[in-house]
Structure 1
Amino acid sequence: MVALRLTRATRPTVQLRRLLVAAAAGGTGFLLLACLGYALDHPQQADAAALRLAWCAVPLAAAVHLALAVARTDPGTRPRPGLSAVGLGPARLMALSALTTALSCALGSVLALLVFLHLRGDLTGMPFDGAASDFLAADQPLPIPATLTLLGLVPATATTTVALALRPRDPRRAAPGPRGFGRFGAYGRSAARETFGAYGRFGARRGNVPAAGRPAADGAQPTDGAAAGAAPDPERSGHGTSGHGTAPGTDTETKTQTEAVAEAEAETGSPAPETAWTDGSRRPSKDTPVGLPWGITLVTAGLAVHAYAERQAGAVLLGWFLIATGLVLASPGLTHLCGRLLQSTRPGALRLLAGRVLMAEATRLGRPLGVVCAVVTAGYAMTTLYAGSAPAFGPLTTLGALLVTGCTVATLLTAAVETRQCRADTTATLLRLGAPAAMLRAAAALRAAALLVLFGPLTLAVAALAALPVDR
């Protein structure tokens, strides 16, 4: 009920993003049902039906990626002050995000089933003069278990992905480990093993904890606190000749006590929590992303596989998988590099702001950019492959291409919205300090132009290299 109320009481832009998720889930479900219809209509071509079903993994991954991006930017399920008091903690908000995603995907799957049944002629008769009966198996009964399984694949996968990605994480630093205990419950850190009765021997613990008024076993001098405890100074206690309640040595004593408390906390290994629970999204890292060398290696390996594939289906799929994975891994590092290049050669306030934002949001923006580059590269190569006398794209292939392209572009735009939401406090601070709004818009335009200048030629170069074996 709470998920339905949050879904109903949101802004139109949020509802539009949820409708995009429903449309992506509906298109993917329709492709899966079309593969089922092809398998029913061509039972002797099991390999071709399995290959069609394997190709549906690409739009499925695109739809799930879009659902995850939309769930991250959903304002109705983001942590706000006071929600934990009414029982809406991080775990409950994660469950609400997953339930909202499940509702959107389920709506799309139901629409896909209705369209599929309408094209088969099961609802109101055969439309389009039976043109869709070749790949929908209109003359055969539809198996209900297989239909429900294929329709539930997108909601189940998207819901599980959202739940795992948005699960609550404790941002506090982990403790250095359980503290070791000696004999009789005493705190012990020495590596040497004690013999029986060593604890009760006179002077055995003399060197570990120096007592007040006596030196340590290793000859170290007693601390200020111990000295103060053994022989209190009349000036520090406030009974000196000055007659005031506070003496000049009070600050030194307070500092000594503060340092002692800090050392005790560091020794026990229980630091104070830095922040409260978050929404589960990872904060942008200040370091350079480490996936750039691995991404370049995978892209090179994929191009090498394409060079020796000779249009074999398995080798082509492996090559595209390596190229796509390499682009996704390398894109955060390239985005970080783009932000660093913007700040080179004595930058002004505009370039410095644009570059710092790109460096801070390299991972959040880089991965959707890598997916877009992989889709554009594959589209260019497939267009080159089917150019000339090859058969034209069919309706299902066109639907799949539009679905993957639309999902990737919508995911990239949603990631930009998420970046804007995460920088809302910083933007408000800049505006409060007097920064003009035109400069912020110019910085956003500069970031988009810099990414286009870097990723545009890179995508075209990888696509041209991938299509070279096809042109030969």
Structure 2
Amino acid sequence: MLALRLARGSHPLVLLRRLCVAAAAAGTGFLLLSTVGHAAGHPAAADESLVRLLWCAAPLAATAQFAVSTARTDPAARPQRGMTAAGLGPLRLTLLATASTALTCLLGALLALVVFFRLRGDLGGSTGPSFGIGAGQLGAGHPLPLAGALMLLALVPLTAAVATAVSLRPRDEAGSPDAEPLPRTAPPSGLPWGIAVAAAGLAIEAYAGPAAASHDGLLPLPGRLVGSPPGVLGGWALSVAGLVLAGAGLVHLCGRLLCAGRPGALRLLSGRVLQEESHRLGRPLGVLCAVAAAGYAAAKFYDASPARPFGPLTAIGAAVVLACVTASALTAAVESRAARAHTTAALRRLGASASVLRRAAALRVLSLVVVMAPLTWTVAEMATLPLTR
């Protein structure tokens, strides 16, 4: 009840973020239900149904990440003055944030269930194609294992709630990312590991590339993944994981480059902020770069193979993943700005104008784009090269 009351009295921007989380949960839940419908309508194609279910892991993980980032920026989940006296310590605040995330994702899951039944024709009305999704793709006319569908649908709020509880669990004050005493300017340790993992993935893809050529020279995507060389998929996954691991190190490197030489006040301010916020911004930006690289590779495969059309379910999954990782990166930027509120106020008191702060923010964004965009494009091109030769 407390979670519902706090949600009702939240700021409109906070409510908008929660609605976006519910929409992402609805999209992911619909994809999970579509795998059950496909299995019910095509009992002889169990392998293809399993592949569809495995591909749902990407939007499920993206939805959980977005839910966690939204919970982290929720004012109700932050310790406020007087909350401890009222019995809302760090542990209860974590439980409250977990309950709010679970309720939000449950709302989206219920919406997905209604839409799924409506498109199947179980709620009456026409069973013709809607938004390009035919009723036959959802197993219309075949009995649906309702218990299994509900259990699979419960993965969405359960995964998001567990991820929120783990991410927001109470920590020591010195090790908390929101702790004030010491700025976290030490270089992250993930950059060399990320480079090594990405290089290993590209090497595996190059080795397994000739095997992929026997499958029409392309990597089969959702619905046609059965029989693909596992080395190609494993190499692609390692390449993407390398970008995620290197995210924080790349952000810190951008800050180091801005501070190199004899920087002026603007470069020094921008570089120090990037170094300090690299732990907070690195992972969401790394995930965004990884998804961009994977999306570029997938688009290239689809363009080169007209026989594999970009279906509506694949479009829903891609939209959910891209929207979630983009929103997570923007939310991390908002969280970073809120964490620097005291520093920004101190700079304003010292005479820094608003235009200087805006130029510093623009310089930070520009440096991140200059470093990360070419790297993402290079990894995507190298990942697709062995599969299209």
TM-score (ref. length: structure 1): 0.75
Paired with 2:332 and 2:26, the residues of 1 have a C-alpha distance of 22
Mapping for residues 317-332 of structure 1, pairs under 5 Å: 317-332=233-248
Paired with 2:174 and 2:283, the residues of 1 have a C-alpha distance of 26
CA contact (8 A) 2:59 2:317 kept: yes
Mapping for residues 306-317 of structure 1, pairs under 5 Å: 306-309=205-208, 310-311=211-212, 312-317=228-233
CA contact (8 A) 2:187 2:252 kept: yes
Percent identity over paired residues:
55
CA contact (8 A) 2:40 2:143 kept: no
1:161 is the counterpart of 2:150:
no
Mapping for residues 126-165 of structure 1, pairs under 5 Å: 126-128=126-128, 132-165=134-167
SS of residue paired to 1:408:
helix
SS of residue paired to 1:286:
coil
1:43 is the counterpart of 2:43:
yes
Equivalent residue for 1:376, pick from 248, 270, 292: 292
Match of 1:348 in 2: 264
Paired with 1:329 and 1:111, the residues of 2 have a C-alpha distance of 34
Paired with 2:174 and 2:260, the residues of 1 have a C-alpha distance of 35
Paired with 2:9 and 2:26, the residues of 1 have a C-alpha distance of 24
CA contact (8 A) 2:173 2:179 kept: no
Match of 1:408 in 2: 325
Mapping for residues 364-443 of structure 1, pairs under 5 Å: 364-388=280-304, 389-443=306-360
Tell me how far 1:318 sits from its aligned partner: 0.9
Match of 1:297 in 2: 196
Match of 2:75 in 1: 75
| Cα separation, partners in 2 of 1:129 and 1:101, compared to 1, 3 Å | closer
Gaps of 5+ in 2: 213-227
Paired with 1:129 and 1:441, the residues of 2 have a C-alpha distance of 49
CA contact (8 A) 2:64 2:159 kept: yes
Paired with 1:282 and 1:115, the residues of 2 have a C-alpha distance of 50
Match of 1:2 in 2: 2
| Cα separation, partners in 2 of 1:112 and 1:10, compared to 1, 3 Å | same
SS of residue paired to 1:308:
helix
Map Cα deviations across residues 246-276 of structure 1 (whole Å, 9 max, x no partner): xxxxxxxxxxxxxxxxxxxxxxxxxxxxxxx
Q: Select between 42-51 and 28-37 the one with higher mean Cα deviation.
A: 42-51
Match of 1:455 in 2: 372
SS of residue paired to 1:460:
helix
Q: From the two aligned structures, give the one with the greater helix fraction.
A: 2
SS of residue paired to 1:116:
helix
| Cα separation, partners in 2 of 1:355 and 1:401, compared to 1, 3 Å | same
Paired with 2:205 and 2:302, the residues of 1 have a C-alpha distance of 16
TM-score (ref. length: structure 2): 0.91
Paired with 2:289 and 2:51, the residues of 1 have a C-alpha distance of 24
1:119 is the counterpart of 2:119:
yes
* CA radius of gyration, larger in: 1
Tell me how far 1:8 sits from its aligned partner: 1.0
RMSD between aligned residues: 1.9
Tell me how far 1:414 sits from its aligned partner: 0.5
Paired with 2:44 and 2:198, the residues of 1 have a C-alpha distance of 37
Tell me how far 1:308 sits from its aligned partner: 2.3
**Residue identity in the other structure for 1:321:** A
| Cα separation, partners in 2 of 1:79 and 1:129, compared to 1, 3 Å | closer
Q: Select between 57-66 and 360-369 the one with higher mean Cα deviation.
A: 360-369
1:66 is the counterpart of 2:66:
yes
Match of 2:221 in 1: none
CA contact (8 A) 2:128 2:135 kept: no
Gaps of 5+ in 1: 174-276
Match of 2:387 in 1: 470
Paired with 2:236 and 2:313, the residues of 1 have a C-alpha distance of 20
Tell me how far 1:26 sits from its aligned partner: 0.6
| Cα separation, partners in 2 of 1:279 and 1:454, compared to 1, 3 Å | closer
Paired with 2:365 and 2:328, the residues of 1 have a C-alpha distance of 16
| Cα separation, partners in 2 of 1:279 and 1:363, compared to 1, 3 Å | closer
Map Cα deviations across residues 367-419 of structure 1 (whole Å, 9 max, x no partner): 11111111111111112222233321111011111111111100100000110
**Residue identity in the other structure for 1:291:** G
Match of 2:223 in 1: none
Tell me how far 1:314 sits from its aligned partner: 2.1
**Residue identity in the other structure for 1:298:** V
SS of residue paired to 2:122:
coil
Mapping for residues 203-282 of structure 1, pairs under 5 Å: none
SS of residue paired to 2:85:
helix
| Cα separation, partners in 2 of 1:282 and 1:103, compared to 1, 3 Å | farther
Match of 2:99 in 1: 99
Paired with 1:37 and 1:367, the residues of 2 have a C-alpha distance of 35
How many corresponding residue pairs? 369
Q: Which has the higher contact order (CA 8 A, sep 6+)?
A: 2
**Residue identity in the other structure for 1:329:** L
CA contact (8 A) 1:339 1:358 kept: yes
**Residue identity in the other structure for 1:395:** P
Paired with 1:2 and 1:169, the residues of 2 have a C-alpha distance of 24
| Cα separation, partners in 2 of 1:128 and 1:391, compared to 1, 3 Å | same
